[in-house]
Amino acid sequence: TQLLEQSPQFLSIQEGENLTVYCNSSSVFSSLQWYRQEPGEGPVLLVTVVTGGEVKKLKRLTFQFGDARKDSSLHITAAQPGDTGLYLCAGPGSNTGKLIFGQGTTLQVKP
């Protein structure tokens, strides 16, 4: 069974701090996606990484796909209260092609 493990599960920081969220697996994924979910809403896709070693930037967010395509990270520079939310990584299962989700990282950024 393919699993995606996210760490940390909870993160509470002050505005302006940097942070990194990790998404790890013992299995190879063809791609990984990162979603952000706000309270009372569904997840919204932030980015998809496809190539091992790939780095994608979305304003203050930097996403990296591991060289072996078994892990990914999300780094936020100078976090703002608007970054508060649940961050989920997900990847297609090799057998079914259906998305497998990590358990999520809840981020709280205090002003």
Partner 1 sequence: NAGVTQTPKFQVLKTGQSMTLQCAQDMNHNSMYWYRQDPGMGLRLIYYSASEGTTDKGEVPNGYNVSRLNKREFSLRLESAAPSQTSVYFCASQDPNQPQHFGDGTRLSIL
Q: In the set 33, 64, 72, 73, which binds partner 1 (CB under 8 A)?
A: 33
Give Cα separations from 65 to 47, 48, 108 (angstroms): 11, 9, 24
Q: Within 13 Å of residue 69, how many CA atoms lie on the same side as its CB?
A: 14
Stretch that binds partner 1, among 12-20, 42-50, 51-59, 61-69 (CB under 8 A): 42-50
Within 10 A of 44 (CB to CB), how many other CB atoms are there? 11
Q: For residue 12, give the H/E element and its range.
A: strand 10-14
Q: Can residue 99 be called a binding residue for partner 1 (CB under 8 A)?
A: yes
Q: Is 49 in the site for partner 1 (CB under 8 A)?
A: no
State the minimum distance, in angstroms, from the CB of residue 77 to partner 1: 24
**Cβ nearer to partner 1, comparing 40 with 111:** 40
